């Protein structure tokens, strides 16, 4: 790997694409931009660098987010000076090892974590708490066991009239392909189906941002890959939907994301932001894929071949 061929972080403002890759991916780079029409914005790793202003208002604008947990073992800096700008329609992955604060960051965006310093703006307005403009999918599906799939999917729609609610619920059950299970209870679903129902529940309120907290972490490897394709389809079926996904699976991040935000632990901070310029639907291997993967794994001090369960579950 030559350092000049790969430029994972755009250093010049004129660089529209953070990742400049070998010919194979350069060719496929153009169609990829259709999923994120706005020119790619480049962020720098160093907190001092100013992010380049895009003309479109960012969907999400995080400035100097710092979160400290006060536990019995003293203070733990979960996040330090995190700056991130997310454009409408982007698919972002927060990638990092356990304890890097990626879930905390997602929870701050979701409004579930309140005591932090810095500003978190959603469409220019400060995030004050949870809301229907964000859909949250937890690692464990958290479907309520006493409700059927359709009742779970309609959970956030209690304010609507019955008929309107039923229409939205059916549309979302169809979106995730669970038509045959709409009357089933969560305990009757497989892990993958339950997580699809959970995604449908989060999307039913028509949020602008879908927040996925390691949604596939509890699934087996094959179901994971299938679900990654499902998530991509769902994202593409909802134009303008921004997705922020927490993962510790490099392949998953590479398969799905427009940009991968690499976080490093203790204190949790953004180490690098990687623009994945591979066209969709993406191959799960190939030179472009492998080059970025190699470089990402190097961030975690792993060689490409190594199989450390901590990072490649």
Partner 1 sequence: MSDRSISVIKGLVLPAVLLAAWTLSTWNRHSLLFPAPSLSFQAIAELWNTHALQGYLAVSLRRYALGLLLGTSLGFVAGAALGSSRIIERFFLPNFHMFRQVPLVGWIPLLIIWFGLGDLSRIVLIAMGAFFPILVNTHAGFRQVPRNYLEVGDAFGLTRWEKIRRIAIPAALPWIRSGTILSLTFGWTILVASELLTQANGGLSDILDVGRERFRMELVNAGILILGLLGFLFNYAATRFWSIGPLKWLSQNIHTPSKRGTT
Binding site for partner 1 (CB under 8 A): 110, 112, 129-132, 134, 136, 138-140, 142, 144-147, 155-156, 158, 184-185, 187-192, 194, 205, 217-220, 223
- Our CB check for partner 1 shows the closer of 21 and 199 to be 199
Residue 223 CB, shortest distance to partner 1, in Å, is 7
- Our CB check for partner 1 shows the closer of 49 and 144 to be 144
Q: Rounded to the nearest 5°, which phi and psi values hold at 74?
A: 100, -165
Cβ contacts of residue 187 below 8 Å, gap of 6+? 145
- Our CB check for partner 1 shows the closer of 136 and 289 to be 136
Residue 162 CB, shortest distance to partner 1, in Å, is 16
Taking phi over 0 as left and psi of -120 to 50 as alpha, with beta for the rest, 164 belongs to: alpha
- Our CB check for partner 1 shows the closer of 138 and 311 to be 138
146, 152, 156, 159: CA torsion to nearest 10: -70
User: Residue 65 in contact with residue 268, Cβ under 8 Å?
Assistant: no
Distance CA 107, CA 128 (A): 12
- Our CB check for partner 1 shows the closer of 170 and 226 to be 226
Q: Give which of 243, 304, 251 is closest to 282, Cα–Cα.
A: 251
Give the distance, in angstroms, between the CA of residue 192 and the centroid of all CA atoms in the same chain. 18
Percent helix, strand, coil in the chain, to 5, is 35, 20, 45
What is the number of residues in the chain? 313
In this structure, how many other beta carbons lie within 10 angstroms of the beta carbon of residue 89? 20
In this structure, how many other beta carbons lie within 10 angstroms of the beta carbon of residue 125? 9
- Our CB check for partner 1 shows the closer of 40 and 107 to be 107
Residue 188 CB, shortest distance to partner 1, in Å, is 5
Residue 274 CB, shortest distance to partner 1, in Å, is 26
- Our CB check for partner 1 shows the closer of 123 and 285 to be 123
Residue 191 CB, shortest distance to partner 1, in Å, is 4
Cβ contacts of residue 311 below 8 Å, gap of 6+? 97, 248, 250, 297, 300, 302
Distance CA 4, CA 21 (A): 10
Question: For residue 107, what are its two tokens?
Answer: 């929870």
Residue 313 CB, shortest distance to partner 1, in Å, is 8
CA angle 247, 237, 180 (to 5 degrees): 90
Residue 111 CB, shortest distance to partner 1, in Å, is 8
Residue 41 CB, shortest distance to partner 1, in Å, is 28
- Our CB check for partner 1 shows the closer of 209 and 274 to be 209
């Amino acid at each position: 790997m030559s350092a000049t061929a790969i430029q994972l972080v755009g250093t010049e403002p004129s660089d529209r694409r953070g990742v400049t890759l070998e010919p194979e991916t350069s060719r496929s780079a153009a169609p990829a931009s259709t999923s994120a029409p706005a020119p790619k914005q480049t962020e720098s790793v160093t907190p001092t660098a100013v992010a380049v202003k895009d003309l479109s208002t960012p969907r999400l604008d995080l400035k100097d987010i710092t979160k400290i947990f006060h536990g019995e073992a003293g203070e733990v800096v979960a996040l330090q000076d995190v700056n991130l700008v997310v454009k409408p329609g982007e698919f972002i992955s927060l990638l990092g090892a356990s304890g890097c604060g990626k879930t905390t960051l997602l929870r701050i965006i979701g409004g579930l974590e309140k005591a932090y310093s810095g500003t978190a703006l959603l469409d220019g307005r400060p995030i004050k708490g949870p809301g229907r403009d964000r859909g949250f999918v937890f690692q464990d599906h958290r479907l309520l066991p006493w409700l059927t799939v359709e009742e779970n999917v309609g959970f956030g729609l209690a304010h609507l009239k019955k008929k309107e609610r039923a229409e939205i619920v059916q549309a979302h059950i169809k979106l995730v392909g669970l038509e045959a299970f709409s009357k089933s209870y969560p305990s009757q679903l497989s892990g993958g189906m339950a997580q699809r129902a959970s995604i449908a529940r989060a999307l039913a309120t028509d949020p602008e941002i879908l927040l996925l907290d390691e949604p596939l972490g509890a699934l087996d490897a094959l179901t994971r890959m299938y679900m990654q394709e499902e998530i991509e389809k769902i994202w593409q079926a909802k134009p303008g939907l921004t997705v922020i996904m927490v993962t510790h699976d490099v392949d998953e991040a590479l398969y799905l994301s427009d940009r991968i935000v690499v976080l490093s632990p203790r204190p949790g901070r953004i180490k690098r932001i990687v623009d994945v310029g591979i066209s969709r639907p993406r191959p799960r291997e190939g030179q472009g894929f492998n080059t970025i993967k190699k470089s990402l794994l190097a961030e975690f001090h792993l060689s490409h071949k190594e199989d450390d369960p901590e990072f490649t579950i």
